[in-house]
Structure 1
Amino acid sequence: MMKLIQRLFNILSWIVVIVIIGYLAVASPMLFGNRPVVVLTGSMEPTYPVGSLTYYHPATFEEIENGDVITFRAGESLVTHRVKEKNDLSRNFITKGDNNETQDINPVEEADLIGKTSKIVIPYLGYFLTYTKNICVIVAMGMILLMSYLLDTMDKKQRRKHEKQITG
């Protein structure tokens, strides 16, 4: 029974290690100034499907052109929409989600511009990241790794004790 439990925790710990490697892969573009953003709504479908992960990089007002996709602050949220009109005089943008019938009601002010959004889209990965950043999931992954380590340590001690009895 103990071997079965140990094997189960070893398998689970490998899954946790794969999740951690996945996190590192998602975070690696940050080394080059890109930041991940999860697509939460269908306003940009099919270009950016719900649950996808994409990236944005900081950009100035001058670097943005009509047709670019930008990520901007709207209250407490980040929104990713396409620039329909750039107004150099008032220093703002009129935006629209590709899947929306109408343009956004409020213009995006220069101060709310976060960055220019990448064309890289990884479907479904946003769901995974949203779920696995939950504190309960992180604690559970840590407990799995700890239990796996403890079970392996106990097993090694048992084997050494058994070998001493045989040779002793």
Structure 2
Amino acid sequence: MKHDPGRVRVDTPRRSAEEGRGSLSLPWRVWSVVRSVILTLAAALGVVCLVAFGVSFLVGVRPLVVISGSMEPAIPTGSVVFTRTVPAAELAVGDVVTVERPRVGGLVTHRIVAMEPGDSGSYELTLQGDANRTPDSSTYTVSEAGRYMWHVPYLGNVALVLQSRGGILTVVAAGLLLIAVFLLDPASFHHRRARRTRSRDDT
């Protein structure tokens, strides 16, 4: 086998130089860390939301936004209240319940101050808000009601904002930004740049 001494080729130094030129710069390294944190937080938030939704669905928990201050200070305005529907026979004076208003419609979340048994397992509930001086003007005839379990302060304000036009646009913009963060991968950029560098050197 013949060798041409004028065409001896040593690849190792060239490859080392390529690796040096292809390494990520400081801004890209910083962006890699920031990107990892953003994606991790987004994934964690998504998992928490899915778990909360699944548990609520399985145990029959219903979230409601409090838009008045009738139950302050126990339940501040703007809170999200979580209730679970139970038979009226399981309720007791002192429980906070969510029931439908008989005439005006909508829901009310107040405390039971008195209750009397009615027909066919129903009960007549007298409700009063903690911040109100007098009970509600009419009683509530119910066979079941949503009994208060817990609440998250101020979360309802966020939910109300997200339901507005500006909130919807904000959610869409945040989703697009998250997609852009996912696509802007420093490792992929590094790979493409190193490949272009090798292609130019080979040429």
TM-score class, shorter-chain normalisation, is 0.7 to 0.9
Contact map agreement 1:26 1:36 (CA 8 A) in 2: no
Runs (5+) with no aligned partner, structure 1: none
Residue of structure 2 in register with 1:27 after alignment: 53
Residue of structure 2 in register with 1:89 after alignment: 118
Distance 2:88 2:135 in 1: 19
Residue of structure 1 in register with 2:157 after alignment: 127
Distance 2:187 2:34 in 1: 17
**One-letter identity of the residue aligned with 1:83:** I
Alignment: residue pair count: 164
Q: 1:151 to 1:70 in 2, by over 3 A?
A: same
Query: Is 1:167 the equivalent of 2:194?
Result: no
Query: Is 1:151 the equivalent of 2:181?
Result: no
Runs (5+) with no aligned partner, structure 2: 1-26
Query: Is 1:98 the equivalent of 2:127?
Result: no
- 1:120-153 CA distances to partner (integer Å, 9 max, x unpaired)? 232222223333455334323321222222333x
Contact map agreement 1:94 1:106 (CA 8 A) in 2: yes
CA RMSD of aligned residues (A): 3.2
**One-letter identity of the residue aligned with 2:157:** Y
Q: 1:29 to 1:130 in 2, by over 3 A?
A: farther
Distance 1:143 1:76 in 2: 39
Residue of structure 1 in register with 2:140 after alignment: 108
Contact map agreement 1:27 1:36 (CA 8 A) in 2: no
**One-letter identity of the residue aligned with 2:115:** K
Normalising by structure 2, we get a TM-score of: 0.64
Distance 1:76 1:10 in 2: 48
Secondary structure in 1 matching 2:100: strand
Distance 1:130 1:73 in 2: 21
Distance 2:170 2:40 in 1: 15
Q: Greater shift after overlay, 42-51 or 12-21? A: 12-21
- Runs of 4+ displaced beyond 4 Å: 1-19
Normalising by structure 1, we get a TM-score of: 0.75
Residue 39 of structure 1: how far off its partner (Å):
2.0
Residue of structure 2 in register with 1:141 after alignment: 174
